[in-house]
Structure 1
Amino acid sequence: MSTLSDLVYAQGRASEADVEWLHRLVGDGQLLADLAFADIVVWVPTADDSFIAVAHTRPSGAATLFYRDIVGDRVRPQWRTQIRDAFRDARIVDSASPDWFEETPTRVRAVPIVRAAATAEDPAQVIGVLTRHTNLGETRTPSRQQITFNACADELFEMVASAEFPDLDAPTSPRRGAPRASDGLIRLDVGGMVTFASPNALSAFGRMGFDDELEGESLVEVITRILPDKQEFDETLPVVASGRAPWRTDMEARGVAVSLRAIPLRDRGTRIGAIVLCRDVTEIRHQEQELITKDATIREIHHRVKNNLQTVASLLRIQARRTHSDEAREALTQAMRRVSAIAVVHDTLSEGLAQNVDFDEVFDRVLKLVAEVAAAPSTRAQTHKTGRFGTLPSEYATPLALALTELVTNAVEHGLAGKEGIVEIDASRSEDRLAVRVRDSGVGLPEGQVGRGLGTQIVRTLIQGELGGTIDWHTIVGSGTEVTIDIPLRYIQRASGS
């Protein structure tokens, strides 16, 4: 399915500022749908003076009218005139009589979406139309909460038509734990006094220790009485609780955490009150804290593994220096290098929260290690890396780092033995594969000697056995050796859970 940006840009009539405004409005589409107890559809004009739906939000507290997604559909004939008039005249247009949609009576309201002026050269303008589709088939005597919700929706629709909603001063925040209308809604007047509090809002404040009625109280004073003495709190809390700024903050009392979001209500630039949404996020905060603790524990484990591996590498290095046999010294040096390569991966994992690693960073560090350790005094090797590996899950970063360590080491020690030359490593990544080419400018290996050594066997085991990839050696006497590795990314993505 096309994204909102794709659909809007495809019409050839919108700027980046228009798309950003529509994204912010659609981000609050669920709030508008829940307050209006109706489906909310956003339309933008097309090149042939029609309209196309670019977003649709269904209400969570009422039956939807559209059981099939209409995003990407052109406007239906029965709505075209109403939407066109709202767009052309920059005014809210209500249907004169009930509109029948699939044998269901509905009421349609068309609201022009007006974007605020960005600069003097870019004045406010109508960039689309929002329609509210109310199901009249389920009409019943509205409750006080429904009346209040509808009134809040109407005020927000007026703000949409006057370029006052969405509010660009409202910072974008993570959706996890964001309060919704159904979680708890408090209506404030211009002085910050509570004129309505939904049952869920009362329950949230009751769990924090406030047992009285909220209506008729100053929300700022209520929160002041709830918060424990000497407790530090977000300095934006009073501003949010008074409804003066479109911000979001958290408060905590008696072990209960509540998230608050304020939406100032304005009438042609004059503040007339506010909506404060509240949600009990205690369990969410506990889960987040547990995740943070687990992440810290995992990072500490990686750090300790790295330290232990570096200790093992140091012991191998000391043992190699005290060994009189050249063959034993070489074996210990190679083992030390392999252990050090694994330590680099764990060191990288210990620095971040994710269990994925930027393999380019890992390999750059491994490359320096190999070039310094593998080169003999008579060998002057230069390593050159091109392309990008990208991000890989840790369980694949380790075998790939080891395999490339072996290949570069072989290129330096054998391909360039006693000579000056270059080892080139080229990485090429697409959507479904990772290809790596390692080539040296040495003399090449005679036929029959490729794939006989321990290092080559290790590389085959890592690439074919653990990564499910393929590896191939090409050697031309006098022109060096080239090794190509191909790893299917679908294998990596399945292992990483992506």
Structure 2
Amino acid sequence: MSTLSDLVYAQGLSDAADVEWLHRLAGDCQLLADLAFADIVMWVPTADDSFVAVTHTRPGGAATLFYRDIVGERVRPQWRAQVRSAFLGGQIVDSASPDWFEETPTRVRAVPIVREHPRRGQKPAVIGVLTRHTNLGETRTPSRQQITFNDCADDLFGMVAAGDFPDLSAPTGPRRGAPRASDGLIRLDVDGMATFASPNALSAFNRLGFDDELEGQSLVEVVTDILPEKRQFDESLPLVVTGRAPWRADIEANGVTISLRTIPLRGHGTRIGAIVLCRDVSEMRHQEQELITKDATIREIHHRVKNNLQTVASLLRIQARRTHSDEARDALTQAMRRVSAIAVVHDTLAQGLAQNVDFDEVFQAVLKLVAEVAAAPNTHAHTRTVGRFGTLPSEYATPLALALTELVTNAVEHGLAGKEGDVEIITERTDQKLEVRVRDNGVGLPEGQVGRGLGTQIVRTLIQGELSGSIDWHTLEGQGTEVTIEIPLRYIGLDEA
């Protein structure tokens, strides 16, 4: 399904500012649908004088009229005149008589979407239309809550038509945990007095320690009495509880956390009150705190592991310097290099703690280490990388980095021993595989034979065993060696670079 931006831009009649406005409004369409107990559809004009649906939101507390999304569809003939009239006239247009949709009586309201021009004095622009589709087949005597919700919806629709909603100055914040109308709603008048509180809203404040009725109370005074003394609170809280700013804040008392979101209401340019949505997010905040604590613990463990690896590498270096046997010194030096490479990869992975990692960043750190450690007397190696590795799962970073460390080290120490030369690491990535070639212009393989040392065994084990890949050594024409590694991406679990 196409995104809102795709559908809007496809019509060729809107700019980036229009799309941003529509996105912000679409983020609150669920609120409008829940308050109006109706389906909400957003329409934008097309080049052929019609309209196309770019969002469709179903109500949470009422039956939907549309069992299938109509996003991407053209406006239906029975709604076209009404939608067009709202778009051209810039006024809310209600259907004169019930509209029948699939044998269900409905009432349709068309609301122009007006974007306030950023420069004062310039006329606001109508950039689309919202339609509210109310199911009349389930009409029954409305409760006081339903009447209040509908009144709030009407106020918001009026603000949409006046260019006062959405408010671009309001913080977007994460959608996870954001309060909805069904979680709890308080209606404030212009003085911040609660004129209505839904049962869920009252229950939420009861859990905070408030044991009276909210209606008729000043929300500022209620919150002030609830908050514990000498405890810091959210600096934006006064703006929220007075209903003067479109903001979000948390109230915490008695081990309970309530998230509040305020939507100031305006009529004909004058503030007339506010809607305050509230939700008990105690468990969610507790889980978030646990995740923060675990994340800090894991980072500390990674830091200590990295330090331990570096300590082991330092001990191996010291032991190698005190060893008189050339063979033992070489073995200890090789072990020190491998441990150092693992420490570098571990340090890079520990910084993000993500499932996937940018392997190009990891490999550059490893390559710098190899160039420093593997340089032998009278050997001058120039390393160069071509192409990109892309994103790889973190669990594959260590074996691949260690295998490439061995190959580059062999190219420097054996292929270019005692001379100046080049080492190239060439990477090609497709949807199916990752191919890496390590090429040098050194002496080449002895009689075309692959070595049988520990380094070669390590590379085979890492590539074939842990990465389910293949590896091939061969001598280049003229001079030098090229090692080709192929890793099927289907084993890695990524299908894109």
Cross-structure match for 1:231: 231
Using the alignment, how far apart are the partners of 1:119 and 1:434 within structure 2?
A: 52
Secondary structure in structure 1 of the residue aligned to 2:148: helix
Normalized against structure 2, the TM-score is what?
0.95
**Equivalent residue number for residue 308 of structure 1:** 308
Tell me whether 1:151 sits opposite 2:151 in the alignment: yes
User: For residues 335-374 of structure 1, what are the structure 2 equivalents within 5 Å?
Assistant: 335-374=335-374
Give deviations 1:445-466, integer Å, cap 9, x for gaps: 2453235333233222212221
Q: Counterparts of 1:87 and 1:249 in 2: how far apart (Å)?
A: 36
Residue 20 of structure 2 corresponds to 20
2:341 is matched by which residue type in structure 1?
A: A
Contact 2:445 2:474 in 1 (8 A): no
Q: What does residue 380 of structure 1 align with? A: 380
For 1:8, the equivalent position in structure 2 comes to 8
CA drift of 1:316 comes to 1.5
Q: Give the C-alpha shift of residue 145 in structure 1.
A: 0.6
Deviations 1:166-191 (A, max 9, x none): 10001120111111111111111111
Instruction: Sort the Cα spacing of 1:221 and 1:53 in 2 relative to 1 into closer, same or farther, 3 A.
Output: same
Whole-angstrom distance in 2 between the partners of 1:453 and 1:159:
76
Instruction: Determine whether 1:488 maps to 2:479.
Output: no
Deviations, residues 410-466 of structure 1 (Å, cap 9, x unaligned): 111122211112222233445554333322232332453235333233222212221
Cα gap change, 1:331/1:478 in structure 2, threshold over 3 Å: closer, same or farther?
farther
Aligned to 2:289: 289
Structure 1 counterpart SS, 2:493? helix
Q: Could you give the per-residue CA deviations for residues 332-366 of structure 1, whole angstroms, max 9, x where no partner exists?
A: 21111111111112212332343443322222211
Cα drift, residue 470 of structure 1: 3.0
Could you say which residue in structure 1 is the equivalent of 2:138? Answer: 138
Give CA-to-partner distance per residue, 1:236-257, whole Å, 9 cap, x none.
1011111111111111000101
How far apart, in 2, do the equivalents of 1:207 and 1:315 lie? 59
Q: Please give the alpha-carbon distance, in whole angstroms, between the structure 2 residues aligned to 1:432 and 1:329.
A: 42
- Asked whether the 8 Å contact 2:448–2:475 carries over to 1, the reply is no
**What is the distance in 1 between the residues matched to 2:127 and 2:11?**
12
| 1:396 positional shift | 1.0
Shift of 1:75: 1.1
SS of 2:351's equivalent?
Answer: coil
Counterpart mapping for 1:81-160 below 5 A: 81-119=81-119, 123-160=123-160
2:58 is aligned to 58
Partner of 2:319: 319
Supply the distance in 1 between the matched residues of 2:270 and 2:172 (Cα, whole angstroms): 24
Structure 1 range deviating more: 468-477 or 330-339 = 468-477
Which range moved further: 473-482 or 178-187? 473-482
**Residue 332 of structure 1 aligns with which residue?**
332
Whole-angstrom CA distance in 1 between matches of 2:133 and 2:247: 29
Structure 2 matches for 1:420-431, cutoff 5 A? Answer: 420-431=420-431
Q: Which residue of 2 aligns with 1:74?
A: 74
Q: Aligned partner of 2:149: which letter?
A: F
TM-score, normalised to structure 1, is 0.95
| Partner Cα distance (1:467, 1:268) in 2 | 66
- Offset, 1:122: 7.5
Name the amino acid aligned to 2:340: S
Amino acid of the residue matched to residue 36 of structure 2? A
Supply the RMSD in Å over aligned alpha carbons. Answer: 1.9
SS in 2 for 1:213: coil
- The residue number in structure 2 matching 1:254 is 254
Which is further off, 272-281 or 333-342?
Answer: 333-342
**Cα offsets for 1:139-178 (capped at 9, x unmatched):** 1111111111111011111111111111000112011111
Q: Is the 8 A contact 1:445 1:476 kept in 2?
A: no
Gaps of 5+ in 1: none
Higher mean alpha-carbon deviation, 420-429 vs 327-336, is at 420-429
Aligned to 2:202: 202
- In the other structure, the counterpart of 1:218 is 218
Paired amino acid for 1:105: P
Q: Aligned equivalents of 2:71 and 2:285: distance in 1?
A: 35
- C-alpha distance in 2, partners of 1:390/1:28? 37
Aligned to 1:183: 183
Equivalent AA in structure 1 for residue 239 of structure 2:
V
Q: CA deviation at 1:295?
A: 1.3
Contact kept? 1:445, 1:477, Cα under 8 Å: no
Q: Secondary structure of 2:21's partner?
A: helix
Task: State the distance in 1 between where 2:55 and 2:430 align.
Answer: 31
Q: Are 1:349 and 1:356, in contact at CA under 8 Å, matched by a contact in 2?
A: no
Structure 2 stretches of 5 or more lacking a match?
Answer: none
For residue 123 of structure 1, report the CA deviation from its aligned partner: 4.8
> Identity of paired residues, percent?
82
Is 1:300–1:350's contact at 8 Å kept on the other side of the alignment?
A: no
Task: Output the CA distance in 2 between the equivalents of 1:451 and 1:151.
Answer: 82
Write the letter of the residue equivalent to 2:204.
Answer: A
For residue 491 of structure 1, report the CA deviation from its aligned partner: 2.7
How many residue pairs match? The answer is 495
Q: Is residue 384 of structure 2 the alignment partner of residue 405 of structure 1?
A: no
SS in 1 for 2:183: coil
Query: Structure 2 CA distance, aligned partners of 1:31 and 1:388?
Result: 45
**CA deviation string 1:1-31 (max 9, x = no partner):** 1111111111111101111111101111111
Partner of 1:475: 475
Counterpart CA distance in 1 for 2:363 and 2:123 is: 51
Per-residue displacement from partner, 1:356-411 (whole Å, max 9, x unpaired)? 43322222211111000001021111222343333333211111111111121111
Q: Secondary structure at the match of 2:366?
A: helix
Q: Which residue identity lines up with residue 379 of structure 1 in the other structure?
A: T
Q: Which letter does structure 2 place at the counterpart of 1:19? A: V
Report the alpha carbon displacement of residue 234 of structure 1 after superposing the two structures with TM.
1.1
Q: Is the 8 A contact 1:105 1:135 kept in 2?
A: yes
Name the aligned partner's letter for residue 377 of structure 1: P
Indicate conservation of the 8 Å contact 1:36/1:149, yes or no: yes
In structure 2, C-alpha distance between the alignment counterparts of 1:331 and 1:278, rounded to whole Å: 66
